[in-house]
Amino acid sequence: MLHAQFDHVIERHASQISDEEIINWAALKGFSQSDIDESLKYFLKIGIGFRELLAKGLLSEDQQECYYLIGINWYGQWVYGLIGAIGFEEYWTQKIKKHEDTLEENEAELKRITQAIDFNFNPVMLTYKDENAVNMAIEKIALSPFTHQFVSADGLEHCFWVVNSTENIEEIKAAFTNVEEYYIADGHHRIASGSLLAHEKLNEGGNYTSFISMVISASQLQMYEFNRVVKDLNGLTDLEFFEKLEGFFEINEKSEPIRPSIKFEYGMYFNQKWYHLKVKDATQIEPYPLKQLDVSVLRHFVLTPILGIINVRKSDRIAFLDGSKGIEMLIRMVDRGEMKVGFTLCPPSVDELINVANHQEVMPPKATCIEPKLKSGIISRLLSN
């Protein structure tokens, strides 16, 4: 099911749904009136509105088995992802590997929402090591006329193919038999909560056995860093701060903003000046995938021992800025005095993510931002009629 502006259309339609409709729908999905808080009420409207839009023909439903290929012009580079259903069995047997921890309360809430709306509208994004047969199958489709084309609200051009010919479907299935492992790029909580609901449905005799996913090859993932800004110097003077940094880094002042592209090198914005920081002795860094991450190195050498930040998840002295949006916010926050110092990091690589996942470890908080993400609602799937 495809709609370029799904979010706006369904929210506008959902606003017209009455409380009586909500209560009746909730009862069908196993919720009592006392269960309906404001959050669940919003999503119940979405579930009702989705089906009403479908009934009115404002969403198109494919009646036969198919895949979908989406092409996204990510700022001049076309990236292609294949969308289809993948069995939870692959997740349960760890063919699909994770690199993030999930919170039980978030899993439970997402499970409740999925049960309420009774459809998937936000595919989990998976990646895999490049496989030539898969690349060839996708390229063949991408060279054919697309089914739809649109520009999303953020100005990104999208091309879309409905892949429903028996020949193409069989080629794709055969190609993906060569893919031994998948890695979650985005959607750890969605797949974990879906897994909980799938187990519950299976125990009840239901057939909710798969989830929708966009799979994209590792070479196409756009990896961005999360930069760090810190409110204070942990009681140190500027001179003391620099003296401690010099114990670990070569420090050179620069006239231009720094966005590192080499591991173990950092940019630091401090007192309206930029500094280039390079680890003096990389042999000090333990040779394990998790320890080798730039975010781990910064935490080990700077954030904890110098700036006194022990728990980056809970500290209110540190903030994280999405590197895909540039570094202008980092500069403004330091210049306005909201933060004392900012650090820019080298983006992690897909290989680093894969190594962490293969070692059954998890990435540190705010270690990476992965793009391009599929807009919610472009592809949706009913869980029941």
**Residue 96 DSSP symbol:** E
pLDDT category at 1 given cuts 50, 70, 90 is very low
| Type of residue at 178 | N
More confident residue, 182 or 101: 182
Q: Please state, in angstroms and rounded to a whole number, the distance separating the CA atoms of residues 303 and 22.
A: 49
β-pairing verdict for 210-217 and 124-128: parallel
CATH class of the 62-222+371-382 domain in this structure: alpha beta
CB atoms within 10 A of CB 264: 19
Whether the predicted pLDDT of 73 surpasses 60: yes
Model pLDDT for residues 139-169, shown as the tens digit of each residue: 999 999 999 998 888 889 999 999 999 999 9
Closest Cα partner for 188 from 99, 90, 313? 99
Whether the predicted pLDDT of 12 surpasses 80: no
Residues in the chain: 385
Whether the predicted pLDDT of 19 surpasses 50: yes
pTM of the model: 0.89
- Pull the structure tokens for residue 219: 């070479």
Query: For residue 3, what pLDDT is reported?
Result: 41
- 352-370 b/e with 16+ CB inside 10 Å = b? bbbbbbeeeebbbbbbbbb
What residue has token string 């790029």? Answer: 185
Model pLDDT for residues 279-319, shown as the tens digit of each residue: 999 998 999 999 999 999 999 999 999 999 999 988 999 99
Sketch the domain layout of the chain as residue ranges: 62-222+371-382, 226-346
More confident residue, 18 or 229: 229
Residue 43: C-alpha distances to residues 58, 104, 115, 116, 139 (Å): 19, 20, 10, 7, 37
Cα angle, residue 129 at apex, residues 123 and 131 outer, rounded to 5°: 100
Per-chain mean pLDDT for the chain: 91
Q: Please state, in angstroms and rounded to a whole number, the distance separating the CA atoms of residues 336 and 282.
A: 34
